[in-house]
Amino acid sequence: MTSNDDVNRDLVESLLTGPAYHKWLGLELLDAKPGQVVIGMAGRPEFCGNTDGTYIHGGLLATLADIAADFALVTQVGIGLPTIDLRMDYLRPAKPGDYLRAVGTVVRRGRTLGVADALVANGDGVKLAVGRGLYSTATP
């Protein structure tokens, strides 16, 4: 796969939905094009970060952002990539019942490292978190 080819959606979807953790999260590939993905996930009550159940734990937003940024690079390289670093800014809390959408976009793909950004929003398009990840693109 190169950034100029069409995305092999079946491959990207199988890599996304294959791992047990991703299945448990209920991840859905909503869109994929070279260098960009949109991944969705329902904000389930068990994702709440407090006993009152009023907001989803930020770690789930970071997970979704990390996966979206990673998979933006996957659309170009065709394999899953390990995360080296992830930085998050939380803008608003996600609420149980929100449908979460993360858009991952490649910033730069190099021979050994790749950088991608992710924006997490709710179903109404309200921005909840932004992140930037650094990934190893070196071939094994």
The domain tally of the chain equals 1
Domain range for 62 is 9-136
Query: Is 1 within a domain?
Result: no
User: What phi-psi label fits residue 78: left (phi over 0), alpha (psi between -120 and 50 degrees) or beta?
Assistant: left
Unique residue bearing structure tokens 């996304």: 16
Q: What is the mean pLDDT of residues 44-68?
A: 96
The answer to whether position 130 is within a domain reads yes
pLDDT beyond 80 at 113: yes
pTM > 0.85: yes or no: yes
User: Does residue 22 sit within a domain?
Assistant: yes
Any domain includes 3: no
Q: How confident is the model at residue 62 (pLDDT cuts 50, 70, 90)?
A: very high
CA–CA separation, 42 vs 69, rounded Å? 18
Q: What is the mean pLDDT of the chain?
A: 95
Q: How far is CA 78 from the centre of its chain?
A: 16
Whole-angstrom distance, CA of residue 1 vs CA of residue 102: 22
pLDDT (0 to 100) of residue 2: 44
Q: What is the CATH number for 50? A: 3.10.129.10
pLDDT digits (tens, 9 = 90+) for 25-55: 999 999 999 999 999 999 999 999 999 999 9
Q: Is residue 71 part of a domain?
A: yes
Sheet holding 99-109, edge to edge: 28-33, 36-42, 99-109, 113-121, 127-136, 83-90
Is the pLDDT confidence value at 139 over 90? no
